[in-house]
Amino acid sequence: MITIFNRRLLLVTYDMKLQADVRTKLSDNNIDYVLNPVPFSLVMGGYYGGGLSAEYKFYVRKKDYDLAVAVINDRLKK
């Protein structure tokens, strides 16, 4: 179980396709994660003229962080 005491922020994105790819990659590598979507965030979309967009925050266990970073970096290279 991932709690606020044993987790570390892995990624914040506003890109729906990227968050879907990251979810798949983490699941394929058996890395537990928590995804906290913040719907209709005005931080990026509204302020810069892009409209409303969701913010996606990925958290993983602290002990899995390095592996998760490697998995995500591998995903971004392809």
**What pTM was estimated for this model as a whole?**
0.80
**pLDDT band (50, 70, 90) for residue 48:** low
Q: What confidence score (pLDDT) does residue 28 get? A: 95
Q: Which residues pair with 56 in a beta bridge?
A: 13, 37
* E strand or H helix at 54: strand 53-61
Q: Is the pLDDT of residue 13 over 60?
A: yes
Residue 44: which residues within 8 A CB-CB, separation 6 or more? 14, 50, 53, 55
Q: Is the pLDDT of residue 39 over 90?
A: no
Q: Is the pLDDT of residue 42 over 60?
A: no
Measure the CA angle with vertex 72, ends 46 and 53; round to 5°: 15
Q: Is the pLDDT of residue 56 over 80?
A: yes
Q: Is the pLDDT of residue 54 over 90?
A: no
Set out the domains of the chain in order of their start, with CATH numbers.
Answer: 7-77 (3.30.70.1370)
| 35/25 Cα distance (integer angstroms) | 13
